Structure 1
Amino acid sequence: MEDWSLHPPWVWLPPSHYREEDNQPARFFLFRKTFSWQPDDHDQDDQDDQPVLLHVSADSRYRLFVNGHRVSFGPCKSPRGQWHYETVDIRPHLRRGRHRNVLSARVLRYSSLVPGSSSIVSRPRPGFLLVPAVPGRPPVGTDTPWRCCEETTRRIVPRSEWNYLLGPPFLCINERVTEDAALAGWHSPPYDDAAWPAAVPQETAAVQMLPVVSPWRLAPRPIPALPETPGRLDGVIQTHGAVSADQWTALIRADQPVVVPARARVTVDLAVAHLLTAFDLGVDTSPVPRPRSKADRSDPRGGRARLYGPRDFYTVAAGQPAHAFEPFWFRCFRYCQLDIVTADAPLTVSGIALRETSYPLPVTTRLLQATPPDLMRIWAISLRTLQNCRHETYEDCPFYEQNQFAADARLQMRFGYQLSPDDRLARKTLAEFDASRTPDGLIGAQSPSGFPSRQIPLFSLFWILMLHDHLRYHADAALVRRYLGTVDGIVQHFEARLDAARGLVGRFEADTWPFVDWVAAWMVPGHIFASCMPPAYHATGAATVNSLLYAYALRHAADLCDFVGRRSTADEYRARVATLQAAVNAQCRGEASAFYQDGPGVAQYSQHTQVFAILTDTVTGDAARRLLRQTLAAPGLARCSYAMQFYVFRAAEHTGLYAEVFAQLLAPWRAMMAQNLTTWAEDDVNARSDCHGWSASPVNEIVTQLFGVTPLEPGFARVRIAPRRELLEAAEGTLHTPRGDLHLRWAQGEALTVEATREMAVEVVLGATTYPTVLAPGETVCFQ
């Protein structure tokens, strides 16, 4: 049988009914197929529950229905050079015999000419594809007749209407909908689509004598479908107009309808218990007096607070028996506002629902007890933050951008390895960044990317750390070999930018963003791409931290090479580290200060430079310990953001000062809890994103430091268990490792008990004593 993926039947509107892409960022299209379904004669009744599988995709996104039931949402975001399709079982929703069945799809097509969503890719031409997994069974593929039309009464709100107080319009997902009576029930069997034009094939086959191929190189979805779990709103914050707070509360809790009188305007601010990502009908943000100024997130300020956020608009059509609106794309929110204006007739609101969605990571690491008890809350907030920033990709933030950046994803992936055996999303992420390689050897700072964006050179170094993390936790030699060429290209890019006179990493290209971190002292008002790096970079063309980050990545690259037997390359990379260490010590250590300078000969200092000097062993021993203590005590140093605090924790671990400074380093997370954040914020400079996965460092600290579970060898071939009982008086938890789960428990004055679900070679470290042992499955061992 010929492989259908070589010549897939992509279809679209006929040219006479399709306006070519103009200045709109995106448009909506509807597709329908009516059919009857009867199992073949040789199919037995007792086999009637066998799956009926379809492959489906679209450019750019689709929502597929069977007889009005949602069955698939996609296609999954994909790297350059690939286009994913979903395989879905429609059997549960089919009706047998003479009953009519309808397959229908709403397709959101982002323009390939006008910037739309920054993380959703479009090919030069639109298309919709549906193919039965068993050819012709049922006969519903897009190589058979389908009907289609443009949904002109639903559109994406253009950038011209965007509120730039919220920042740039990265997502481009908000909608303005005018209910169209002619489309009522369009995805259900009774609807008559006779007036719709027939869909026509998109010409994707090769032209004779020319090597032209389809713009969509199809590949199956590599991750599971995202669940959509029904839920409810939890409370009413404030109301204005003729409907009382009690009435709104009865609606969201007991589905008691609310009637908005004619010629009235009512507003209600609604809340969920914690920030989440869901399909709902709402406007999302926190109740604040003005944008970018946030304190207690749950304080409505006596009813005077205002909600700021992107808006969706829905206008109902008169004479319709029922109205329903849900956005095509999920929203991130903790609060949402309904603003209802009626004309000459009342409007009844009979229900408000949501369907929560995120990547279904099976979390097997569980914190059951911890003293001090606020660690339990810190743990829960960290897990929720990661969940909200994990969908078809890892996301920097689910509210503003939903972009997958290498520095963010590196940390989110690492935290995920400590929680779950599922690394499918992580593998997809490694591939997406590898596919984003540019001719200069770097990977894209973000991938997938819906439109060209600024390069951030240092983020390529974090991709090397990302690959190293996967090695430590999963020890997949084939995966490491696959990506070593990309590692070499990144290394060579930085090597080519060493200043010959000073031996330091010099300036990057002018059209890049040499981003290091969100630091208030590094902001240049009105010039974002000149911000977020030490000012010494502008003055000297060399920021010390850039050289140190390069050395840090080189060390990890050397480990990767060692793992697959490339010893000479590993030696070469370590020799380059020694050269960088010498250059930094010679050029960036001022005699008048205990600190490393942010640039050669510049009396400016940051925590970042000191931390990476410690992590690269550019300073060692007692000198490194003194430097870290001074770094954390000095009030004038530029401070690391929540994300970069991860590396401060690592410097504390590296110098043996972890227990001494742990409470100080955890203080920013306790401060966020005091502001009633339910997820961790991006940083304390912008007061922008209230949910940022890179800030979930407490997961790493609780697993690898407080409970002390780390790999002694790649893939946890041997496991180190070194709990910090001086920081946790009592604790109990189940810790995931790729070799099986470990259950640890201790209380003040009692022994540590360890139980493994599988045989496991471990080294238990308690104080100055190490106990090498092999744990048998189900055996509980006590260590004094």
Structure 2
Amino acid sequence: MALNWTQSAQWIWTPGYHEEDNQPGRYFLFRKRFHWPGTDNIKELPVHVSADSRYRLFVNGRRVSFGPCKSYMERWHFETVDILPYLVKGENVLSARVLRYSSIMAGSSSILSTELPGFLLHCEIEWNFILGPPFLSNNERTKESSQLTGWESSDFDDSAWKDAVLQFRPVKMLPIQSPWKLAPRPIPELPEVHGRFNGAVKCQGTVAKEQWTSFLKEDRVIEIPSGQTITVDIDCESLTTAFVTLQCSGGKGSTVTLLYSECYEKDLGVETAPFPMPRSKSNRADISNGRLYGMKDIYTVADGQAEHTFEPFWFRAFRYIQVQITTTEEPLILKTFTFRETFYPLDILTDVHADTELDEIWKISLRTLQNCRHETYEDCPFYEQNQFASDSRLQMLFSYQISSDDKLARKTLQEFHASQGPDGLIKAQFPAGFRSKQIPQFSLYWVAMVYDHMHYFADVSFARRYLATVDGILNHFDERITNLGLVGRFDEDTWPFIDWVPEWFVPGKIFESCMPRAYTSTGMATFNSLLYIVALMQAAEVCNFVGRRDTAVEYSARADDLRKAVNKHCFEKGIYTDGPSTQEYSQHSQIFAILSEAVTGDAAQDLMLRALEDKTLAQCSYSMQFYLFRAVEKVDLYTKLFPSLMAPWRQMIADNLTTWAEHANNARSDCHGWSASPVHEIVTQVFGVSPAQPGFKRVRIAPRMELLETAHGKFVTPAGDVSIAWTKENLEVKVSADLEAEIVIGESVSVQRFEGGKEVVFARK
């Protein structure tokens, strides 16, 4: 479809608007009445809609779309929605609630705002828009008014509302473009799946816990008498990302506070503090001794109208919600409290069953990934919702192992590619609502994204598109090679983050933390050179794949030179130091020495065992567990060490987590995508399904049957599905399409040509 309309469609806003009011976010209401004749010969009525910053669109009071899909300034997305199913013959109304984040005040770190606010709704059938008076609120505090009740519906009286104004007027003869370069939404609409809370876990006040549970599960109305304060803690089956909706009536002057929390944790004795306090989490469901901490929405009933609803604009992340209600002049009637779960609708086709703890680990891993996957990949849904390159690399890879849908991955690769600066680096965090601190090493994880996509999908043109970006990243690191042949210091305004390691923490100086002291003192951290080597190895493979063999040779030569430098200056007494001429040591340097092939063979295996046994080494956090597994795999110790390496996930289950935490040493996020690495381990190692050649032109099937007595699973690949099952006696392999497979059973390797639907049974050795 031609997109000429994107140049002519008009953006509108309120007259007399000013952002210089110290408000990080404000709401604006738009509505337009129109008559619909009920024409039978129209089968659909698509409209295009977008806003700066976010919108929720209604037709006759029914929710039909929210967006725009997150992206960056040069690719401002719009949604296309068919509104015909929502229209009625006669009077209709289109309405929108728009949240504008200020472009001069801190708002949301993952949602962008241009210099102009705006709302756009375009259809080939022309109409004008009416703008209502501002509804002053942010995401946390709302004061309801009967004057706005039912503003989304067609029978609302909008005669006092002012006309909107055009936001951008092109100038003749000048090539000035609109701030918003529109592009169609590249991913599916996010679902909103109706859900119910489990019930109340504890409460204070005149309403009993059983009443709360009946209210939550069966919509049994609750009346909170006037002059009362009640509190109830409500739980969900697992940590969830959802829109919450509270429907009420009456209650003039009442205040409802919703506190969203990931878990119960140690009571610090205070609700808020002017400085960070050390938090402590163990049993996340310790209702008796723990306390809920989190973010709040505050809803004040101004007029006590017959019916009113509170629904925060953006989705919330929660496992528990604490509701505190204070009534004043009249009773507040609670009618329903529900949620609509939302997430990127990945079509998950991989399914595994082991009848062991791995089943629970698998389930929690999928839930973790789902909560960290919306319009972008997110580091965590509760605190940041930011798309970081290092986190996203892992989340994308795990997604490839459970689904053949790579649309969100392609969007992510494109977004980071578009963020590349003149120094060659991509933004570590992107899209971003403000200029964030650069983390140079995260650009190397983006190289791994290109490498991973090549292996799973073998799209030559897609890989070739990003090679110039790869070249720029690698050249940035090459320009920092010191006279020792190692990667040296990055620009002063960067944060050379490696991992959350207690030994690397500098109190009060976060941007000097998370890297070994060797970097601070010498400007050289062994890890940075080793990670660069791994990226060069991956880039060389991509270059060979697309036919750029000379560049592959160049990158391999760079890697060889770096290995020699690392072994000369950062290796002594059988172990790698964290920098030249230092006595600091970490698991990180040993792991990436193995992955970069700075050390190989028996020496690598000995080093891996030492790295795991020597507890004086700085230990990897959860973010690095994936790479720890890869090093163990590379030195052929995987089967031996797998049970012990799963200890962090067993401990999280023992601590009653329903999603995987950010890391063990920090009590912040209880849902973090990088911790879902068991997906990769179960698919590619336990069941042993991985691409032997890019795009699964040959699939490798190498189940580690010694880890499980019996197991079965179905695995999606771009070349067809693979089913694997084994018992004490046999291994059964079945494929859904013509496929060449490399079957590994113990020390035996054979290549089989499968025809679609064929099943082969092997004797288990």
Please give the range of the TM-score, normalised by the shorter of the 2 chains. Answer: over 0.9
Tell me, yes or no, if the aligned pair for 1:410 and 1:466 is still in contact at 8 Å. Answer: yes
Shift of 1:684: 1.2
Structure 2 residue 553 is the aligned partner of structure 1 residue 584: no
Q: Does 356-365 or 241-250 show the bigger shift?
A: 241-250
Structure 2 residue 620 is the aligned partner of structure 1 residue 640: yes
Structure 2 residue 528 is the aligned partner of structure 1 residue 546: yes
Q: TM-score, normalised by structure 1?
A: 0.93
Please name the residue that 1:603 is paired with.
583
Please name the residue that 2:279 is paired with.
292
Please name the residue that 1:423 is paired with.
406
Against the structure 1 CA distance between its residues 708 and 257, is the aligned structure 2 distance closer, same or farther, given a 3 Å change threshold? same
Shift of 1:187: 0.4
Tell me, yes or no, if the aligned pair for 1:283 and 1:333 is still in contact at 8 Å. Answer: no
Tell me, yes or no, if the aligned pair for 1:643 and 1:697 is still in contact at 8 Å. Answer: no
Against the structure 1 CA distance between its residues 550 and 204, is the aligned structure 2 distance closer, same or farther, given a 3 Å change threshold? farther
**In the aligned structure 2, how far is the partner of 1:208 from the partner of 1:29?**
31
Shift of 1:2: 8.6
For residue 217 of structure 1, the aligned residue among 177, 181, 187 is 181
Shift of 1:729: 1.3
**In the aligned structure 2, how far is the partner of 1:307 from the partner of 1:624?**
46
Amino acid at match of 1:409: S
Tell me, yes or no, if the aligned pair for 1:405 and 1:447 is still in contact at 8 Å. Answer: yes
Structure 2 residue 369 is the aligned partner of structure 1 residue 386: yes
Shift of 1:292: 2.2
**In the aligned structure 2, how far is the partner of 1:474 from the partner of 1:2?**
29
Please name the residue that 1:170 is paired with.
none
Tell me, yes or no, if the aligned pair for 1:60 and 1:122 is still in contact at 8 Å. Answer: yes
Against the structure 1 CA distance between its residues 703 and 234, is the aligned structure 2 distance closer, same or farther, given a 3 Å change threshold? same
How many residues align structurally? 739
Please name the residue that 2:7 is paired with.
6
2:299 is paired with a residue of what secondary structure?
A: strand
Shift of 1:283: 2.1
Against the structure 1 CA distance between its residues 6 and 298, is the aligned structure 2 distance closer, same or farther, given a 3 Å change threshold? same
Shift of 1:39: 4.7
Amino acid at match of 1:761: E
**In the aligned structure 2, how far is the partner of 1:498 from the partner of 1:387?**
40
Please name the residue that 1:208 is paired with.
172
**In the aligned structure 1, how far is the partner of 2:389 from the partner of 2:19?**
35
Structure 2 residue 593 is the aligned partner of structure 1 residue 613: yes
Tell me, yes or no, if the aligned pair for 2:10 and 2:168 is still in contact at 8 Å. Answer: no
**In the aligned structure 1, how far is the partner of 2:412 from the partner of 2:304?**
49
Against the structure 1 CA distance between its residues 736 and 204, is the aligned structure 2 distance closer, same or farther, given a 3 Å change threshold? farther
Please name the residue that 1:752 is paired with.
731
Against the structure 1 CA distance between its residues 2 and 603, is the aligned structure 2 distance closer, same or farther, given a 3 Å change threshold? closer
Shift of 1:203: 1.9
Tell me, yes or no, if the aligned pair for 1:204 and 1:213 is still in contact at 8 Å. Answer: no
Please name the residue that 1:566 is paired with.
548
Against the structure 1 CA distance between its residues 595 and 176, is the aligned structure 2 distance closer, same or farther, given a 3 Å change threshold? same
**5 Å matches for 1:320-399?**
320-367=305-352, 369-371=353-355, 373-399=356-382
1:34 is paired with a residue of what secondary structure?
A: strand
Question: Structure 1: which 5+ residue stretches go unaligned?
Answer: 157-173
Deviations 1:528-561 (A, max 9, x none): 1111111111122100000000001010011111
**5 Å matches for 1:636-675?**
636-675=616-655
Please name the residue that 1:249 is paired with.
213
Output the aligned Cα RMSD.
Answer: 1.2
Please name the residue that 2:94 is paired with.
103
Tell me, yes or no, if the aligned pair for 1:79 and 1:431 is still in contact at 8 Å. Answer: no
Please name the residue that 1:163 is paired with.
none
Against the structure 1 CA distance between its residues 2 and 548, is the aligned structure 2 distance closer, same or farther, given a 3 Å change threshold? closer
Against the structure 1 CA distance between its residues 319 and 664, is the aligned structure 2 distance closer, same or farther, given a 3 Å change threshold? closer
Structure 2 residue 148 is the aligned partner of structure 1 residue 186: no
1:416 is paired with a residue of what secondary structure?
A: helix
**In the aligned structure 2, how far is the partner of 1:210 from the partner of 1:359?**
41
**In the aligned structure 1, how far is the partner of 2:3 from the partner of 2:736?**
47
Question: Structure 2: which 5+ residue stretches go unaligned?
Answer: 246-257, 269-277
Please name the residue that 1:168 is paired with.
none
Amino acid at match of 1:586: K
Structure 2 residue 611 is the aligned partner of structure 1 residue 626: no
Tell me, yes or no, if the aligned pair for 1:717 and 1:739 is still in contact at 8 Å. Answer: yes
Tell me, yes or no, if the aligned pair for 1:204 and 1:215 is still in contact at 8 Å. Answer: no
Structure 2 residue 55 is the aligned partner of structure 1 residue 62: yes
**In the aligned structure 2, how far is the partner of 1:119 from the partner of 1:447?**
8
Amino acid at match of 2:711: A
Please name the residue that 2:81 is paired with.
88
Shift of 1:476: 0.8
Q: Does 261-270 or 317-326 show the bigger shift?
A: 317-326
For residue 422 of structure 2, the aligned residue among 439, 445, 458 is 439
Structure 2 residue 711 is the aligned partner of structure 1 residue 727: no
**In the aligned structure 2, how far is the partner of 1:112 from the partner of 1:21?**
10
For residue 700 of structure 1, the aligned residue among 665, 680, 686 is 680
**In the aligned structure 2, how far is the partner of 1:361 from the partner of 1:415?**
12
Q: Does 403-412 or 233-242 show the bigger shift?
A: 233-242
**In the aligned structure 1, how far is the partner of 2:173 from the partner of 2:44?**
41
**5 Å matches for 1:96-245?**
96=89, 99-132=90-123, 135-136=124-125, 139=126, 144-153=127-136, 155-156=137-138, 174-205=139-170, 207-245=171-209
Amino acid at match of 2:435: P
Please name the residue that 1:773 is paired with.
752
**5 Å matches for 1:500-579?**
500=483, 502-579=484-561
Amino acid at match of 2:693: E
**In the aligned structure 1, how far is the partner of 2:73 from the partner of 2:751?**
47
Shift of 1:399: 0.2
Tell me, yes or no, if the aligned pair for 1:581 and 1:618 is still in contact at 8 Å. Answer: yes
**In the aligned structure 2, how far is the partner of 1:413 from the partner of 1:201?**
40
Deviations 1:707-757 (A, max 9, x none): 000111100000010000011211100011111111100012x21111111
Shift of 1:152: 3.1
Amino acid at match of 1:581: R
Tell me, yes or no, if the aligned pair for 1:270 and 1:335 is still in contact at 8 Å. Answer: yes
Tell me, yes or no, if the aligned pair for 1:149 and 1:196 is still in contact at 8 Å. Answer: yes
Tell me, yes or no, if the aligned pair for 2:594 and 2:604 is still in contact at 8 Å. Answer: yes
**5 Å matches for 1:255-270?**
255-270=219-234
**In the aligned structure 2, how far is the partner of 1:150 from the partner of 1:189?**
17
**In the aligned structure 2, how far is the partner of 1:2 from the partner of 1:353?**
39
1:479 is paired with a residue of what secondary structure?
A: helix
**In the aligned structure 2, how far is the partner of 1:306 from the partner of 1:648?**
34
Tell me, yes or no, if the aligned pair for 2:73 and 2:181 is still in contact at 8 Å. Answer: no
Amino acid at match of 2:144: E
Tell me, yes or no, if the aligned pair for 1:28 and 1:150 is still in contact at 8 Å. Answer: no
2:132 is paired with a residue of what secondary structure?
A: strand
Tell me, yes or no, if the aligned pair for 1:258 and 1:349 is still in contact at 8 Å. Answer: yes
Shift of 1:668: 0.6
Q: Does 530-539 or 579-588 show the bigger shift?
A: 530-539
Please name the residue that 2:21 is paired with.
22
1:311 is paired with a residue of what secondary structure?
A: strand
2:410 is paired with a residue of what secondary structure?
A: helix
2:390 is paired with a residue of what secondary structure?
A: helix
Identical counterparts, % of pairs: 56
2:622 is paired with a residue of what secondary structure?
A: coil
Tell me, yes or no, if the aligned pair for 1:80 and 1:432 is still in contact at 8 Å. Answer: no
Amino acid at match of 1:30: L
